[in-house]
Amino acid sequence: MGGASITLASCAPSAGIGRATPPKPFTLTDFTLVRDGLDAPEGIASSPDGRLFISNGGGAIGVLERDGALRQIGQALAPNGVAVDREGRVIVANMGLLNKGPGPLQRIDVATGTVETLVSELEGRQLVASNGPATARNGDIYCTHSSWGPIGNIGTTTPAGFIYRVAPDGKAAIVARALRGVNGLCLDREERFVYASLTAEGRIRRWRRQADGSLIDPQDYGPQLGVVIADHQAKDIRAMAAAERADLGYCDGIAFDAAGNLWVTLPFANRIVAITPDGRKVDIVHDPEGRMLSSPTNLCWGGADLRDLYVVSRASGVVVKARTDIAGLPLANWPAA
C-alpha cells in the first residue's frame, strides 16, 4: 500500500531559515475589495503577469484579468484548491463531496481553454474529495484528499485522508496516509518539505520530500492553532456565537512568505495566523463580524513585488487584498528569488 509512516517526530522549526522575522498584524482597514459576487470561491493563485486564478462555481477556473474582467474556463465540477505549475497551467482540485459527484484533479491551459483530468481514481477507488494542490519546480504535483465523507464532519476522528503525488510523467500514487481532514498544502523555499493543514486536528504537519517524490518522516509543525472538538459538525460550528468560534483552530489554506513564516487561514474563526520559523503562532488578523473576511479559505501573494496578499472568503463570495511588510514566497510558476 505504501505511504508515509504515521510515527510522528516532535514539533520542529523550519530548516534553512535564519532569524525569525514575524509578520506585522493587520487591521481590517488594511484590506480593500478586489472582486465580489463570486459563487462559493475557495482557492486562489497568482501569475507574474498580474492575473489571478480563482476557483468558483462559474467554471472549472475563473481567470481575473488585469483589467478586472473575470473569464470563466470550462465546466465547474466542484472546484476547490488551486495551484499553478511551472509552465503556467492551473491545477484545480475538486471537492466532489460538495455536490455528491466526482472529485478529480484537473489541469487547465488558460491560453487554449483545454481542461484535462490528471487523476480521477487511485487504487481502484474514484476520488471524491481532492482539496489542496501544490506544485514543485521539477514538475511534481501534490494534492490532498480530505476524506471519503461525510463532508460536514469538520472534526472527523476517522483518519481516512491522504496526500497523493502526480509525477512529471503523469503517474499518480498515494504518498501519505491516515490523516484527519487533510486540507491545504504547500512546499517550503527549498522544496525539501511538504506541509499540510490537518483541519480536524487544528495543526500543521510536514513531511520530508525524497528525490523520487515520496514523503517520509512526518512531523507536527508549530503549535495547535486553536480549539478542536472530536467529530465537530459544520452545522453546530455555524450555530456557535462569534466569540466561541473565535477560538477554533480548524485550519485550511497555507502559504509561506519569503521570511519563512507559514500563513494559515482559520475559516470558522474568521482569522488568519502565522507560524514563525521558530514555531510560534502569531495572530495576523481577526474579523469576528465577517466584514472583510467571512470564512477565509485560501490566500496567495501576487503583484510585481509579491507583497500583495489576496484572501478568498467563501461565505461572502469575495476576494480582498492587503499589502504585507514581507513578500510572499515565489511559487513554481514564478521566477525563483
pLDDT for res 13:
55
In this prediction the pTM is 0.94
Q: Check whether 244 has a pLDDT greater than 70.
A: yes
Confidence at 316, pLDDT banded by 50, 70, 90: very high
Which CATH number, 2.120.10.30, 3.40.50.300, 3.30.200.20, 2.160.20.60, labels domain 28-323? 2.120.10.30
Phi-psi region of 72 (alpha: psi -120 to 50; beta: other; left: phi over 0): beta
> Grid coordinates in use for 87?
509552465
| 10 closest CA partner among 217, 195, 194, 191 | 217
What is the C-alpha to C-alpha distance for residues 281 and 298, in angstroms, rounded to an integer? 18
> Grid coordinates in use for 217?
518522516
| 181 closest CA partner among 245, 123, 95, 240 | 95
Q: Check whether 5 has a pLDDT greater than 50.
A: no
Of 73-77, 156-160, 315-319, 333-337, the range with the lowest mean pLDDT is: 333-337
Q: Check whether 10 has a pLDDT greater than 90.
A: no
Sequence-distant (≥ 6) Cβ neighbours of residue 43 within 8 angstroms: 54, 55, 79, 80, 81, 82, 92, 93, 132, 253, 297, 298, 312
Average pLDDT, the chain: 94
pLDDT for res 2:
39
Q: Check whether 9 has a pLDDT greater than 60.
A: no
Q: What is the mean pLDDT of residues 206-229?
A: 98
- Residue 15: helix, strand or coil by DSSP? coil
DSSP string, 192-216: -EEEEEEGGGTEEEEEEEPTTS-EE
Q: Give the pLDDT confidence of 12-59 residue by residue, as tens digits.
A: 554 434 467 899 999 999 999 999 999 999 999 999 999 999 999 999
Q: Give the pLDDT confidence of 51-88 residue by residue, as tens digits.
A: 999 999 999 999 999 999 999 999 999 999 999 999 99
Phi, psi torsion values for 208, nearest 5 degrees = -75, 130
Confidence at 337, pLDDT banded by 50, 70, 90: confident
Q: Give the pLDDT confidence of 318-331 residue by residue, as tens digits.
A: 999 999 999 999 99
pLDDT for res 11:
56
pLDDT for res 8:
54
Confidence at 179, pLDDT banded by 50, 70, 90: very high
Q: Where are the domains of the chain?
A: 28-323
pLDDT for res 115:
98
